[in-house]
Chain A
């Protein structure tokens, strides 16, 4: 989701282990390539820019009247009503 939907991350390939499964481990070469791509290379620039945007949006989400704070007040408001 983070790589395809939000464009924030790069997907890593899992090291294969027999048949169709993998052992869930990403090789160090794969990590090194992805980190270089993300931090240095042009392809990572999109993800870097997206990360900046999301960092700002995350801060705004909990600012007064921010969407997350409002959603939080809404659910907590229901609890208050239930309690009174």
Chain B
């Protein structure tokens, strides 16, 4: 288990140790970056003076060689789960299948990590917060008596549609794909969703990823609460209706805490040069260097300045998809073309 700092950070006052929170981000910058923003807010925005320390946990699989979170406050430690083997998966397995397999296989490592944090933190672990993909980990936190909360990096309609899938699965004939449903899926307070609007991994019920997604949805319900990157003005009715369902006891409560966005200038100021990125960036960097002549791989600014504005999330998601379907490969090619054109202009 690789640790970059000794968790937890020293408590502010010796008589009142800081509460410790553990957050788990599944592979892909679309999950890692909002999770990093959540942890930043957990340790800096607190109500009446009580302090939190935190450990942000990431996976080795599908991640860049180095996760660098230079912009995180000092009270946040990071931990990286050991790599798990995936050699047995078929070559055409979807990227979601690969990611969810990593998450399931890494559960023993999460158990070890949570145990060691429980032993080390003076006040125990107050909460464990995986994102939606890592919902299996809630079984581990429940087993250890740690309250578990899902962080949904998307909106509440997305979260609600995911946890509705097991029901939809039961009530839809086996040979009917959701995109062929005659009626839209109506969730309380949400825009009616055409079956085709449901997330891609739900669209082929014969694909191995489908039962995994149904399992994921069921594990989400183990949570003591959903922390959702949405806000009242965006989904007022969806939030209100979900709270009614939750009060009746069917679902965990949802906390609409978004939007976790930053202005461009803030992002540029805070974003470390080594933000987790995938293969796409690495290759392009080398090409840029070659063009500009003589800058070694270890030297200086890793990218020309303006390039940092290209959404890293996009590149990493596309990179992850590159091993999967042709669509993502085409996307990577498009990004590469765009980068090459910029490279020429440098």
A82 B231 Cβ-Cβ under 8 A: no
Q: Pick the contact of A75: B20, B227, B330 (CB < 8 A).
A: B227
Considering only CB atoms, which chain B residue lies closest to A57 in the complex? B233
- The count of A-to-B residue pairs whose CB atoms sit within 8 angstroms is 98
- Shortest Cβ distance from A27 into chain B, in angstroms? 12
B257 A75 Cβ-Cβ under 8 A: yes
Within 8 A of A (CB), among B106-151: 123-124, 126-127, 147, 149
Q: How far is the CA of A53 from the CA of B235 in the complex (A)?
A: 14
A76 B234 Cβ-Cβ under 8 A: no
Q: How far is the CA of A57 from the CA of B235 in the complex (A)?
A: 12
Known: A72-B45, A75-B227. A53 touches B233 (CB 8 A): yes
List, in ascending order, chain B residues with CB within 8 A of A72's CB: 41, 45, 255, 257
What residues of chain B have their CB less than 8 Å away from a CB belonging to chain A?
Answer: 19-21, 41-42, 45-47, 50, 52, 123-124, 126-127, 147, 149, 155, 157-158, 179, 190-191, 193, 197, 224-225, 227, 231-235, 255-259, 261, 326-327, 330
6 new A-B contacts, CB < 8 A, other than A79-B19, A84-B19, are A54-B234, A69-B45, A69-B257, A71-B255, A75-B225, A80-B47
What residues of chain A have their CB less than 8 Å away from a CB belonging to chain B?
Answer: 1, 4-6, 20, 23-25, 53-54, 57-58, 60-61, 67-69, 71-80, 82-84
Could you name 18 residue pairs across A and B whose Cβ atoms are closer than 8 Å?
A1-B190, A1-B193, A5-B191, A5-B235, A6-B234, A24-B327, A57-B231, A58-B234, A68-B232, A68-B259, A72-B41, A73-B47, A76-B47, A77-B47, A78-B147, A79-B126, A79-B147, A83-B20
